[in-house]
Structure 1
Amino acid sequence: MLNHTPADILAAGPDAIAAAFGLTTRNPHPLADELTTAPLSRLAYAAGLAIRPQQPHENDRVVMARGMQSSDFAGLLASASTTLANRRFTAVAEHRAFCATLECRDFKPTEIATTDVDGELPEVGDLHQIALGRVLVGNGATAQLRTFARVLRASRQLIVNDNAGMLADAVENLGTAAARTEAREVYAALESNPTMDDGELAFHADHGNIIASALDGTSLGQGMAALRTMTLVGGNQADLSAAHLVVAADLELAARKLIHEAGLQITVTATGRLATGRWYLLPSHEAAPTIATLRLKGSTQPVLIESWQEHEFDGSSMRARCDTGAVLVARTLIRGGV
């Protein structure tokens, strides 16, 4: 069944599976092209041979079955699957356009604080003493990273029949599920109107960040003005530009039309996870973070797919994991709607 050593075939495995999943690789392994017609079955066979040479009483499918349970084969599937799932995650996670990212060292509750300085920079003349300033901390919140996971099984029949397309579809659906899970956390954080560490609600008329009006040109203008004039914890005026308009599903067309006709440089994000008529106006997260997603320190991708041992399952198993969460970190955003 193989014209090359098992080690050579397995070395070509990452590029072969990537190609079968529709992923582009630079400088693919020379043998990867030879595996494109039957990548899953041939790699499972090679993994089985790497464990133990084929015995006289064993047919090819017995060797494949042995390989399917191996860490070599599962690792090959997991590597390509991680890339594919994260590509889909990126395409689906529209909420990340307006979210900052916060790193958590572990899964324990993490204190998040909003900081400001006490005033603007004073002018300093030659040989004049530079005045001391203070960093003020306030409006904090507590965040906690959580793990969301699901096991994906590739059956023996799927592997033997080389249904790489079916497996790729399942992996992409995991990426979609992870993005939707994180989006759920983000919109829940917005809608919950949490109590901040100062004991006051995130959204309240006293903070000037609520506009109890339907979305139209007038209310949008009020929101833009409020972002400019609201007061920060250090007493400074925020003077923030509106960068993102996040709206409930029923407002999407009206919001896009409103922004287009006004010629504003504001990105519209619509979702079915907000209450009917709800809208939020946010500054750029690079200028003033307001809502943030969480990630584990050191992680580089939102979705990790790894091999998962299930000795009673006839095939190969993987576990998709997404460590995420969301937290409202500041009051410098506007909540609108009636």
Structure 2
Amino acid sequence: MKKTKVHLALAAAMVLAPQASLTLTPTNKPDKSWYSLKAQNGNAELMIYDEIGGWGISARQFANDLQALGKIGTLTARIHSPGGDVFEGMAIYNMIKGHPAHKVCHIDGLAASMASVIAMAFDEVIMPENAMMMVHKPWGGTLGDANDMRKYADLLDKVEGNLVGAYQQKTGLPEDELHTLLAAETWLTGREAVEKGFANTLTEPLQMAASLNSKRLKDFTNMPEALKNLFAPQGNVPGATNTPAPAATNTPAPSATIPAASVPAPAAPSAADIQAAAKAMNKARIDGINSAFAHFPQLTELKNSCIANDDVDAEKAKDMILAKLGEGITPCAVQPKSVIIHASNGNIVGDSIRAQLMARAGHEAAHKDNAYGSYNLRELARASLADRGIGCAGMNVMQMVGLAFTHTSSDFGNIMLDVANKSVLKGWAEAAETFERIAKKGQLSDFKVAHRIGMGEFKSLPEVKDGAEYKYVTIGDHAEKIALATYGGIFTLTRQTVINDDMDMLMGVPMKMGKAAKRTIGDLFWAVLTKNTKMNDGKALFHADHGNLASGAPSVEAFSLAAELMESQMIGESPLNIMPAFALVPPNLKRAVLQIIQSTSVKGTDANSGIANPIRDFVEVLSEPRLKAKSDKEWYLTAAQGEDTIEVAYLDGIDTPYIEQQQGFTVDGVATKVRIDAGVSPLDHRGLVKSTGV
């Protein structure tokens, strides 16, 4: 099996100090995270102060934390990072780029490699003059024949294209120039970054010094000499050639310098020092073993035995992992010519799996060149692990699928949710609901009770004579109330769904829930009419005092009288001039009403009598079965959509349902809930007329 890697990383540590320049020893890595994200009073602060993607904190966790902030107006970031994992970094870039808040980024010291890409997601990038930003080409390696090498070279070019795209959106530089900068491993000062468009604002320089203690330093060939000298660790470096100290100059030594004669001779280590050193070495050994087993959760027993054996270090643990995975496996006669892609921000595996599932669900066209085009759900789950370098040898099917749902490096669960979400939206869009033709669409920003002013609450504006003051307009006290409520349900994408290749759980069930969501809003809308909801004045929506209650079976005369009621609505002495636009009827009356309204002549008269139909096509006829459930005789007239009749309001105007991950689910699958936040309420009785039908 051949494995490949694509990295964009640079290990470094830089400490800023406004008053003094000190050479420091790198501190231990944090126990919890390489970033912090917190919000207060609608503003959030993000700090990225280490290598991106480490210590079990994934882009998925970052997404959860970002979503948990709720609505924020400003996102301020402070970056001091050598780069890191490109999978995690590119996902973070996309999440920040798409966030609606105003985004400001401060480069406190170093934004190298993937950290520089994340900075491109911000609206404004601020850099001190002596801060640094570094961009470079992706690199990696593979094993295989010449064809494998060519494929891998093509892959690296695609990954580089993604990086160039992120840089180009921010800088506006031509692609050729950006490719040249990456190829040269370009280090930019704050001033140079602003000049080229990587940053927006230059600030005063800060004094800084650091000790760059990274094995990756040798991989970067174009680091400025001044930066190397600044970062060089004090004292002798193993393997370095001793060079004579520079000749003394007449420059006075800084006052903080300690004379050599006053430096005491090093004391012999105490027992406590030796014990502390031994404890630190053992911790480093255990950390190395844990890292080696990070992608092999099925080998917990072997990991524990390695930790318990003081003679086993990380290198020996890796050999034991390979030996364990190879137990009972017979080598194939022919070595498969396949490359396992670690494509980082290219995300070839995830994109290909998503494309295959979308095609199977009918949401997208199939891609002929998709390497996963023939895979079923079980095979896609395994690919989401194996093709990311996550070991699953020795697992049974249930264990493998469960790991595909839960492992931080696998986005299989999120891809399943994406496909299910598409199915929910498809069901919502295909649901035939007549209320969308009639209702006035509104939006509410929270779940508090809101008040709406109907069309009859404003009287005519008074005349303002030359030089006179404008007077405040008074409105009525009959504002109608409306409030949001949440409607939803839960379905689960289980391991059994994947093992059984049950596409109905990705298509049929979510589509039905999408249709049910729209049907729920329809039920609320039609209930306002059929239950004759009480208005804020204490009277029913349709009431004789409201002048919108008629009678009579459908006929030219009955429709004419009902239309006259609506057209005669007044406020004070001023007519509102409301015109009917829709006739709402139960299905059993639909054809008779169509004949009455669409005929050129009046029913019962001679077609050649010259008596024209006075209500021909005066409204559009809409049939609704919920009306028949209440009465097969009652019918209604309503004004055009947008008039103050019945409002359907959505939270923040989002008029489609969405699905979200249910917290606290187990490895048996992903429990998700479909949710729609909506409120329905009558606004004004004047744009509605009801006939009892008898």
Structure 2 length as normaliser, TM-score? 0.43
What residue is the counterpart of 2:377 in the other structure? 40
| Distance in structure 2 (CA, Å) of the matches to 1:138 and 1:105 | 23
Structure-to-structure mapping, 1:109-120, within 5 angstroms: 109-115=449-455, 116-119=457-460
What residue is the counterpart of 2:675 in the other structure? 321
| Distance in structure 2 (CA, Å) of the matches to 1:334 and 1:44 | 57
CA RMSD of aligned residues (A): 3.2
What residue is the counterpart of 1:169 in the other structure? 508
Instruction: Say which is worse superposed, 5-14 or 322-331, in terms of deviation.
Output: 5-14
The answer on 1:306 being equivalent to 2:643 is no
Query: Are the counterparts in 1 of residues 482 and 681 from structure 2 also a CA contact under 8 Å?
Result: yes
Instruction: Say which is worse superposed, 166-175 or 80-89, in terms of deviation.
Output: 80-89
| Distance in structure 2 (CA, Å) of the matches to 1:143 and 1:334 | 21
| Distance in structure 2 (CA, Å) of the matches to 1:179 and 1:211 | 31
| Distance in structure 1 (CA, Å) of the matches to 2:421 and 2:485 | 19
Query: Are the counterparts in 1 of residues 580 and 637 from structure 2 also a CA contact under 8 Å?
Result: yes
Query: Are the counterparts in 2 of residues 48 and 68 from structure 1 also a CA contact under 8 Å?
Result: no
Query: Are the counterparts in 2 of residues 247 and 279 from structure 1 also a CA contact under 8 Å?
Result: yes
Query: Are the counterparts in 1 of residues 541 and 685 from structure 2 also a CA contact under 8 Å?
Result: yes
What residue is the counterpart of 2:585 in the other structure? 247
Deviations 1:249-295 (A, max 9, x none): 33233233333335415333222222212222111122x22111121
What residue is the counterpart of 2:394 in the other structure? 57
Matched pairs, number: 330
Q: Secondary structure at the match of 2:565?
A: helix
Match of 1:98 among 404, 426, 438: 438
| Distance in structure 1 (CA, Å) of the matches to 2:434 and 2:677 | 18
Deviations 1:55-81 (A, max 9, x none): 442256532221134683332233333
TM-superposed deviation, 1:161: 3.6
Deviations 1:132-184 (A, max 9, x none): 57253454222221111111123323323433245311111001111111111
The answer on 1:12 being equivalent to 2:352 is yes
Q: Cα 1:231–1:52, aligned 2, differ >3 Å: closer, same or farther?
A: farther
TM-superposed deviation, 1:13: 4.2
What residue is the counterpart of 1:68 in the other structure? 405
TM-superposed deviation, 1:32: 8.1
| Distance in structure 1 (CA, Å) of the matches to 2:369 and 2:580 | 49
The answer on 1:264 being equivalent to 2:617 is yes
Deviations 1:89-147 (A, max 9, x none): 2332321110112212222222222154322686x99x676865725345422222111
Match of 2:646 among 291, 316, 335: 291
Structure-to-structure mapping, 1:127-276, within 5 angstroms: 132=471, 134=473, 136-165=475-504, 167-232=506-571, 235-261=573-599, 263-264=616-617, 266-274=619-627, 275-276=630-631
Query: Are the counterparts in 2 of residues 85 and 175 from structure 1 also a CA contact under 8 Å?
Result: yes
TM-superposed deviation, 1:209: 0.5
Whichever residue aligns with residue 193 of structure 1, its letter is N
TM-superposed deviation, 1:326: 1.0
Instruction: Say which is worse superposed, 322-331 or 1-10, in terms of deviation.
Output: 1-10
Q: Cα 1:313–1:337, aligned 2, differ >3 Å: closer, same or farther?
A: farther
Q: Secondary structure at the match of 1:300?
A: coil
TM-superposed deviation, 1:14: 4.0
Q: Cα 1:120–1:248, aligned 2, differ >3 Å: closer, same or farther?
A: farther
Q: Cα 1:144–1:117, aligned 2, differ >3 Å: closer, same or farther?
A: closer
Query: Are the counterparts in 2 of residues 13 and 32 from structure 1 also a CA contact under 8 Å?
Result: no
| Distance in structure 1 (CA, Å) of the matches to 2:570 and 2:395 | 76
Q: Cα 1:256–1:18, aligned 2, differ >3 Å: closer, same or farther?
A: farther
What residue is the counterpart of 2:635 in the other structure? 279
Whichever residue aligns with residue 44 of structure 1, its letter is A
The answer on 1:337 being equivalent to 2:676 is no
Q: Cα 1:166–1:207, aligned 2, differ >3 Å: closer, same or farther?
A: same
Whichever residue aligns with residue 186 of structure 1, its letter is F
Identity score, percent: 19
Q: Cα 1:60–1:53, aligned 2, differ >3 Å: closer, same or farther?
A: farther
The answer for unaligned runs of 5 or more in structure 1 is none
| Distance in structure 1 (CA, Å) of the matches to 2:435 and 2:667 | 37
Q: Cα 1:256–1:19, aligned 2, differ >3 Å: closer, same or farther?
A: farther
TM-superposed deviation, 1:42: 4.1
Query: Are the counterparts in 1 of residues 634 and 690 from structure 2 also a CA contact under 8 Å?
Result: yes
Structure number with bigger Rg: 2
| Distance in structure 2 (CA, Å) of the matches to 1:335 and 1:19 | 48
Higher relative contact order (CA 8 A, sep 6+): 1
| Distance in structure 2 (CA, Å) of the matches to 1:32 and 1:268 | 50
| Distance in structure 1 (CA, Å) of the matches to 2:682 and 2:407 | 44
Query: Are the counterparts in 1 of residues 587 and 623 from structure 2 also a CA contact under 8 Å?
Result: yes
Q: Cα 1:112–1:131, aligned 2, differ >3 Å: closer, same or farther?
A: closer
